[in-house]
């Protein structure tokens, strides 16, 4: 009877794995690696009672990236880590930080990170593509509309990748990014008293894949059924099977 129980449970786990509810590629190695990074971060000058962290699957590969937010001030950026080749690697060159107010934005469908900063009326926006090992700068924009009054269209200055452009050229290049689906305010989800989450109490591995929901790309009913109805039905069927086997053993 014990053998039947074990077979039923293993079968249930296999079905769940293939349904995508348990990411096949999500190993426990990243948990220990990120916990170590956060523990060591507490020994640095950047750590304070206002420091927080988050994990988010930037490229939807089943293994999340780590986002550390030293504090939530206007000038505070985030430190990003990825788990590759069995270890945590810091993303960005020369100790670079990303974002402001201790948060970043992510477009999962394109594996993009948006790092934005607004100071003295000038808006700086950089877009980075995550290739699994590094963040590569794709586009960089800057304008001083916030520092001006009056006829902004005539007096504002616009830059794309360091070169001066017209207002029309600027918005022609930024509009495609604006139409993407962005998940904002990533970085300040957990405080440093919650490192026990890596032990599995609330598994950080369960990072949702955000479906594209822009006006140009609404998910079809088949997609909604695949990611909503079918997984729920599979869980219900498996639970019933395991319950019956357990009850009659």
pLDDT tens across 149-204, in order?
A: 888 878 999 999 999 999 999 999 999 999 999 999 999 999 999 998 887 654 44
- Tell if the pTM clears 0.75, that is, is over it: no
Q: Which domain holds residue 94?
A: 24-204
| pLDDT 10s digits, 9-48 | 444 444 333 333 334 344 578 999 999 999 999 999 999 9
Closest listed residue to residue 122, CA positions, set 167, 78, 156: 156
30 shares its domain with 111: yes
Q: What average pLDDT does range 97-112 have in this prediction?
A: 96
Q: Quote the strand ranges of the chain, DSSP E.
A: 52-56, 65-69, 79-84, 87-91, 104-107, 112-119, 122-130, 135-143, 158-160, 163-165, 183-186, 190-191
The angle formed by the CA atoms of residues 108, 112 and 115, to the nearest 5 degrees, is 125
115 shares its domain with 212: no
| Residue at which a domain ends, from 168, 187, 204 | 204
Closest listed residue to residue 98, CA positions, set 133, 134, 52, 67: 67
123 shares its domain with 226: no
Residue position matching structure tokens 């990072």: 207
Both ends of the chain: CA-CA distance in Å? 5
Structural domains in the chain (count):
2
How, if at all, do strands 122-130 and 135-143 pair? antiparallel
2 shares its domain with 28: no
226 shares its domain with 179: no
Distance CA 120, CA 102 (A): 18
180 shares its domain with 121: yes
């Amino acid at each position: 009877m014990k053998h039947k129980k074990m077979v039923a449970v293993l079968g249930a786990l296999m079905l769940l794995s293939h349904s995508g509810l348990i990411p096949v590629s999500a190993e426990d190695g990243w948990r220990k690696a990120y916990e170590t990074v956060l523990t060591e971060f507490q020994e640095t000058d950047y750590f304070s009672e206002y420091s927080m962290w988050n994990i988010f699957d930037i490229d939807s590969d089943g293994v999340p990236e780590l986002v550390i937010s030293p504090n939530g001030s206007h000038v505070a950026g985030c430190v990003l880590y990825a788990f590759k080749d069995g270890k945590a690697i810091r993303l960005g060159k020369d100790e670079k930080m990303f974002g402001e107010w201790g948060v970043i934005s992510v477009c999962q469908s394109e594996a993009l990170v948006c790092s934005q900063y607004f100071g003295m009326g000038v808006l700086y926006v950089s877009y980075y593509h995550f290739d699994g090992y590094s963040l590569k700068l794709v586009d960089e924009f800057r304008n001083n509309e916030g520092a001006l009054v009056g006829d902004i269209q005539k007096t504002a200055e616009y830059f794309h990748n360091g070169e001066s452009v017209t207002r029309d050229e600027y918005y022609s290049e930024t509009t495609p990014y604006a139409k993407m689906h962005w998940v904002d305010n990533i970085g300040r989800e957990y405080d440093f008293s919650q490192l026990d989450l890596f032990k599995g109490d609330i598994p950080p591995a369960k990072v949702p894949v955000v479906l594209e929901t822009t006006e140009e790309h609404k998910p079809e009913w088949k997609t909604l059924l695949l990611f909503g109805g079918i997984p729920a039905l599979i869980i219900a069927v498996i639970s019933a099977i395991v319950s019956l086997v357990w009850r009659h053993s």
